[in-house]
Amino acid sequence: MDKNTKICIIGGGPAGLSAGMYLEQKGYENYTILERNDHVGGKCHSPYYNGRRYEMGAIMGVPSYYAIHDVEEFCGITHDGPQLNRNYKDRNGNVIEPFEPKKNILKIPRLMKMKKQVTELGRILETKYKGYDVNGHRGVAQGRYDGFAATPEREPVSGTNENLKDLTMPFKDWCELNNVELTQDIWIGPFTSFGYGYFDEIPAAYVLKYLDFQTCMNFVRINLWTWKNGTQFIWESLNEKLKNSARLNSDITKVERKDGKVYVTVNGTVEEYDKLIVTAPLQYFPDYADAREDEAAHFAKIDYERYDVLAVETKPEDHPEISYYVFDNMTPERLGHLMVYYRRWRDTKNQVITTYALRKHRNSAEIPYEECRETVLEDLKIMKNPASKVVNEQSWYYFPHVFSEDYAAGWYDDVEAMQGKYDTYYAGEIMSFGDMDETAEYSRELVERFF
């Protein structure tokens, strides 16, 4: 492709800004990033409170976040934030240690069995499911893999593996198929409580591409990255470093593609481009663009999680000494309840804590936002850490995905075959996964494949 190609990138979150970085590194400098908000970063949102930043969205990373490391190197920054730790409570607010055999004598047989199953899971992922951890979903439903390996070098890999078709089934069913049901006790912490849904509804491919074995073990060992100025700082730094910073407050009302050009109406003015990269939610692309029949049909099948975050003050005597996970509340039956609450700064009580809850399951009615909010505040009282004031709140459009039947029917292969068809390329969360590293990594792959 001509290096002077005029490229419009819709979205100034991790996917869009990373696309700009990788394009720039390949010599494409005629790009424009349009962001509708007054800040960059998307769900990496880190407001200030009493002079320090807290997290309303993404919280942490791990050493296997290779695309994030690319961004750090490009910007000259590093993961310099507070060290994280956690403990656990049951639904009644009692502190528990669910993985400590000495504290769970009656559960020793289950814990020993779980440990063996985790080892077995690691083995089958590397053998039976070779290629499972390649970024993106191209070919999985057809029993093949094609992309870049989940290694620091990210070398190109491809191959055929019929067993990969199993990854289209819900993760719960996949675990039962492979006799590793108890591994869900480990994987649920950094999956469901982080807002990515429930194992009986989400295809295994999403779970295992995000929480590949090395990534999940990093979470287990608390081998985590944080940033002093929040995850948003990563993307603010990148935006400042790019030759073409994102144009904020860009209200796109129309996209028209004709005669080999892309016409974008932004803030009332029509701008002409050669190519379009959409990193904003594809589900809403037909609302403002001239979506073709195949685009509209596929994007209509996208669902998403309703993930709510509250930032609350507590009285000093009620402030938690550490972050807590509440596994009892990470089931569909406890939809709308507090799953985890997070204390970022351990050296002061003059900061907020943040709470996280899901309020939608595929097989149940969506819980209204206000009802979920009140449930979480009541749960904090049960946890003996009642809120004295709500400082901030957010209900996210979170983790866009398709369900097993559409995944197995080839949704991803169809959409990947559409890449470039209308001078348009599709990136962002739905094309990989809803965490910042997977979306950035997919932007890298998109640029390598097509530009």
Q: Which domains does the chain have, with CATH numbers?
A: 7-81+227-302+402-450 (3.50.50.60), 99-217 (1.10.405.20), 303-400 (3.30.70.1990)
Q: Helix, strand or coil for residue 82?
A: coil
pLDDT for 233:
98
- Is residue 200 classed exposed, middle or buried when 0-12, 13-18 and 19+ CB atoms within 10 A define those classes? middle
Tokens for 300, please give them: 């209509």
User: For residue 176, which of 185, 168, 184, 165 has the smallest C-alpha distance?
Assistant: 184
pLDDT for 4:
95
The torsion defined by the Cα of 67, 18, 43 and 213, in degrees rounded to 10, comes to: -20
Positions of E strands within 281-388: 303-313, 323-325, 340-342, 353-358
Q: Do 154 and 216 form a contact (C-beta atoms < 8 A)?
A: no
Residue 126's pLDDT band (cuts 50, 70, 90): very high
The model's pTM: 0.96
Average pLDDT for 236-245: 98
For 137-187, write each residue's pLDDT tens digit: 999 999 999 999 888 899 999 999 999 999 999 999 999 999 999 999 999
pLDDT for 283:
97
For 185-196, write each residue's pLDDT tens digit: 999 999 999 999
Question: CB-hemisphere CA count at 13 Å for 151?
Answer: 9
For 28-78, write each residue's pLDDT tens digit: 999 999 999 999 999 999 999 999 999 999 999 999 999 999 999 999 999
Residue 414 confidence (pLDDT) above 90:
yes
Q: Do 136 and 107 form a contact (C-beta atoms < 8 A)?
A: no
Measured distance CA(343)–CA(55) in Å, rounded: 10
Measured distance CA(417)–CA(411) in Å, rounded: 10
Average pLDDT for 308-327: 97
Residue 418 confidence (pLDDT) above 90:
yes
pLDDT for 182:
97
Residue 93 confidence (pLDDT) above 80:
yes
Q: Do 427 and 442 form a contact (C-beta atoms < 8 A)?
A: yes
Residue 100 confidence (pLDDT) above 90:
no
Residue 90 confidence (pLDDT) above 90:
yes
pLDDT for 199:
98
Residue 322's pLDDT band (cuts 50, 70, 90): very high
Q: Name residues whose C-beta falls within 8 Å of residue 420's C-beta, 6 or more positions apart in sequence.
A: 450
Q: Helix, strand or coil for residue 430?
A: helix
For 352-375, write each residue's pLDDT tens digit: 999 999 999 998 999 999 999 999
Average model confidence (pLDDT) across the chain: 97
Average pLDDT for 74-99: 95
Residue 104 confidence (pLDDT) above 90:
no
pLDDT for 105:
82
Residue 245 confidence (pLDDT) above 80:
yes
- Is residue 328 classed exposed, middle or buried when 0-12, 13-18 and 19+ CB atoms within 10 A define those classes? middle
pLDDT for 102:
79
pLDDT for 150:
87
Residue 1's pLDDT band (cuts 50, 70, 90): confident
The torsion defined by the Cα of 399, 404, 406 and 408, in degrees rounded to 10, comes to: 130
What is the Rg, in whole angstroms, of the alpha carbon atoms belonging to the chain?
Answer: 22
pLDDT for 101:
80
User: For residue 159, which of 136, 132, 135 has the smallest C-alpha distance?
Assistant: 132
